[in-house]
Amino acid sequence: MRDSPVATRAAWFITLSVALYVVAGAFSDEKLSFLYKNELHYSASEVSTLGLLVGIPAYLRLFVGAGVDIFTLFGYHRRSYYMLSWLLSAISMAMLALPATYSPPLVIASAFVSAAGGNLFYVIMDAVMVHVGNETGTIGRLQSIQQGVGFVLGLTFIGPLSGYVTQHWPNQLCFGASALCAILGIAITNLIDERRVVVRTNSAEEIASRWRAVAAIRGAVSSPTLWILIGYIFFLIFTPGSATAQFYYSVDVLHLSKQTIGNLRIPSSIGVVAGIVVFGAVSRWIAVWWIIWIAFITDCLACTVGFWLVDVPTAYIVSLVGGFFGSLYNLSLLTIAARACRPPVEAAMYGLMIGVIILAGAVSERLGSAIYDALGPPHHHTLTYAFHAVLWIGLITTLPAVLLIPFLPSWTRSRDPLQRPTEAQAANKP
């Protein structure tokens, strides 16, 4: 089945947006991790606490999305906000590229501006993706593109590039290159298929359009079944996470170099791309019911992979296998979130779902990091013991999520393939 021109244009928009965002991150993400650890001397718990705080813009995605759906900016609901997101990202990186030394207030302020820009970026891209994907039956494919582009780049050159610049470039040059990438991203705005709203400010037509959007949002968030689904997703993610603990464990116990950590993106990307290819190939023909179970099973499996991490060779294996399970898990959650959205307020509804996912993930990492710091040397245990404790607790607390599956909305039990709209979507209900 050939995709429509609208779906093809959306696919190119998503591809180029993610590609440039990932390239910008290659210059700054790993550099920031070592800036927190080596220059600001933050512990794993402090880093995860910072992540929890700077995630505030993400937790408010419902309101950001609602604002985008209700109010135009220079006559657009999508294009102007997308440009603004890149400008905020450029400003945040410029804040770190200019000074010679760093203070916690400066770094935290930059992190907040970066989070605001990044979340607005994803709100707009997600709104375009969900609207076009649900309308054309290509949501699984567009989800796969969104998730896959970055990992294809990681498979080719992003990982080694990230490790190289972190190892050899000064902070100012890395963050300056990231700011330049953000400025270049403004040009992608032209791929958003949106006409300018030509109405007089505060006219009857504009006010009526806003109230229609408000009514749609109110109808969606008042649905008990939507909140049951959100509760299931939150509980699935809420368990203690191990990403921050694994980074500190890799550096402090396994003594992996910056270049090696960057190179680990290659096997991780191979695993992720493999999962994306599998999901993208079958997503149109599998039912939401099976995706619910895929999310649960792969989450449990992902908790066990870290036990294999004991040296450099196993780090590559863990990255490969963890990437595969993680991509299936992530795509399953995102597809469920997309199927819960209703037009014409995709930005608000998907923003709500993603905000919940990000909040749960941030709390998860905070819990995992606290366990890692608490159960190590302070309690006369090794860091290896602490890391394994994080993994065990994460697995044990994930298993009860299966008890919530029978209480999920009726549309999640549909055996119809994803390429068909569910009854709820056909009726414009969440």
- Determine if the peptide bond prior to 240 is cis (ω within 30°): no
Cβ contact 327:271 at 8 Å: yes
Crossing angle (nearest 10°) for helices 5-34 and 171-184: 170
According to the model, what pLDDT value does residue 145 have?
A: 85
Q: Which residues contact 286 (CB under 8 A, 6 or more apart)?
A: 417, 418
Which two three-digit tokens encode residue 7? 């779906």
Rounded CA separation 308/327 (Å): 19
Q: What number of other Cβ atoms are within 10 A of residue 211's Cβ?
A: 11
Rounded CA separation 347/342 (Å): 10
Rounded CA separation 427/336 (Å): 17
Q: Which residues contact 74 (CB under 8 A, 6 or more apart)?
A: 80
Rounded CA separation 302/267 (Å): 15
Q: Which residues contact 139 (CB under 8 A, 6 or more apart)?
A: 129, 130, 133, 283, 335, 338, 339, 418
Cβ contact 93:179 at 8 Å: yes
According to the model, what pLDDT value does residue 113 have?
A: 92
SS3 category, 141: helix
Cα 366–Cα 297–Cα 355 angle in degrees, nearest 5: 40
Q: Please list the residues that pair with 417 across neighbouring strands.
A: 287
- DSSP for 13-34 reads HHHHHHHHHHHHHHHHHHHHHH
Cβ contact 352:340 at 8 Å: no
SS3 category, 76: strand
How far are the Cα atoms of 75, 83, 162, 163, 222 from residue 71, in angstroms, in the given order? Answer: 9, 16, 38, 42, 22
H-type alpha helices, 222-311: 224-238, 243-252, 258-263, 265-282, 288-305
According to the model, what pLDDT value does residue 199 have?
A: 53
Cβ contact 55:358 at 8 Å: yes
Cα dihedral 402/405/406/409 (nearest 10): 170
How far are the Cα atoms of 93, 103, 176 from residue 172, in angstroms, in the given order? Answer: 9, 14, 6
- Determine if the peptide bond prior to 99 is cis (ω within 30°): no
Which backbone phi and psi does 151 adopt, to 5 degrees? -80, -30
Sign of CA dihedral 204, 206, 207, 212: positive
Rounded CA separation 325/275 (Å): 7
Which of 120, 121, 119, 95 lies closest to 32, judged by CA? 95
Q: Which residue has the tokens 């390239």?
A: 23
Cβ contact 15:149 at 8 Å: yes
Rounded CA separation 7/98 (Å): 41
99 residue type, one letter: P
Q: Would you write out the chain's pLDDT as a tens digit for each of its 430 residues?
A: 455 788 888 889 999 999 999 999 888 888 888 888 777 788 777 877 787 787 787 777 778 877 887 788 887 888 899 999 999 999 999 998 887 677 888 888 888 898 889 889 988 998 888 888 877 777 777 877 887 787 778 767 777 788 788 888 888 888 999 999 999 999 999 888 877 765 555 556 666 666 677 777 777 777 777 788 888 888 888 887 778 888 888 888 888 887 788 788 788 888 888 888 888 777 777 888 888 899 899 988 888 888 999 888 999 999 999 989 988 898 888 888 877 776 666 677 777 787 788 788 878 888 888 888 888 777 667 888 988 998 999 899 888 888 888 888 877 887 776 655 444 444 444 3
